[in-house]
Amino acid sequence: MSLKIIFMGTPEFAVPILKSIYESENKILSVYTQPAKKKSRGQKIIPSPIQEFSEKKNIPFRCPEILNNDKEYNYLKELNPNIVVVVAYGKIIPKRFLELPETSFINIHASLLPKWRGAAPIQRAIMNMDQETGISIMKIANELDAGPIMQYFKIKITNNCNYENLSRKISNLASSKINEILQILEKGSVIFTPQDHSKATYAKKIKKSEAKINWNDEAKQVIAKINAFHPNPGAWFEYSGSRIKIIEAKEVNGYGEPGEIIDKNLTVACSSNAIEIVKLKKEGKKILSASDFLRGCNIKIGTLLNDS
């Protein structure tokens, strides 16, 4: 017996999970995703990665601006899915949807709940220098990411993890487990465990203003920010009127005034220890190694980078 599935998701993170369901024996009745948005200077309209995948595979999809209306409720009710799988959709599921008697709503969240509820769990885990993260399979409740947990799958956060590669690892982990999860749900022998709400922490949406490097932080905190914000929005500093993003850096021993260039390798002092910049990108330019950057930009030892 195959399950009737509706999938709700938007970013690239959700695509491998939808792909796994699509390639299984289960039937995808419809996909919900965020509406296409205008991006770039030319204001070109770009569909979400989930919409692009759905179009490619001829899966019916919907992109409502507002989910909580009679049209969408009646559409979902008429399709009568067994399970709605939600992965980084970006909209709150209305209470009356959750009350449909024959439909279960399951969310795949990229943290070990109740830690890092909210919009940016992967970035916040990296910034917090957590040792592990993972995915939580939970029943959707009215409160954000607060539903009871069906299962956890854990993954280590190593020193070379940034948002880009850790997001990919977590997404691939979820895609490898989703059909196993659906089989368990189909059998109906699931035990959901309530979260300990007293231990909840919140992963607020990333603001671009957070990406500016504060050299008064410890070196390990600066490295964590660089990793958490790679590739977007990119952790940056200002020098000679230009915004420069750090693509890659490592913590090294070194001392000086915070923000001071302390050697010829483009090593910058922080409040504790220092970071050696490996790759960086000047605004509007291509990514360069530190040595290539220094050939075209004569930053002298003792220079203070702008942290105002």
118 has a pLDDT exceeding 60: yes
pLDDT reported for residue 41:
64
CA 221/CA 225 separation, integer angstroms = 6
Least confident range from 55-69, 79-93, 282-296: namely 282-296
Query: Quick one: CA dihedral 228, 121, 204, 103, positive or negative?
Result: positive
* Residues 201-226: tens digit of each pLDDT: 999 999 999 999 999 999 999 999 99
pLDDT of residue 307: 47
Output the pLDDT for position 61. 98
pLDDT at 297: 85
Give dist(CA 182, CA 197) in Å, integer.
Answer: 26
The domain segmentation of the chain, as residue ranges, is 4-203, 208-296
Average pLDDT over residues 134-148: 97
Q: What is the pLDDT of residue 88?
A: 98
β-pairing, 267-269 vs 261-263, is: antiparallel
CATH number of 4-203: 3.40.50.170
Q: Determine the average pLDDT of the residues in 86-94.
A: 97
Residue 220: CB atoms within 10 A of its CB come to: 14
Count other C-beta atoms under 10 Å from residue 157's C-beta: 19
Q: Which amino acid is it at 281? A: K
* Per-residue model confidence (pLDDT) at position 92: 95
Q: Are 170 and 122 in contact (CB under 8 A)?
A: yes
Compute the average pLDDT of residues 242-261: 96
pLDDT, one tens digit per residue, over 156-174 is: 999 999 999 999 999 999 9
Fold of the domain built from segment(s) 208-296: Methionyl-tRNA Fmet Formyltransferase; Chain A, domain 2 (3.10.25)
Query: How many C-beta atoms lie closer than 10 Å to residue 72's C-beta?
Result: 16
Q: What is the mean pLDDT of residues 185-201?
A: 95
What whole-number distance in Å separates Cα of residue 54 and Cα of residue 22? Answer: 10
Q: What is the 3-state secondary structure (H, E, C) of 174-228?
A: HHHHHHHHHHHHHHCCCCCECCCHHHCCEECCCCHHHHECCCCCCHHHHHHHHHH
Model pTM greater than 0.85?
yes
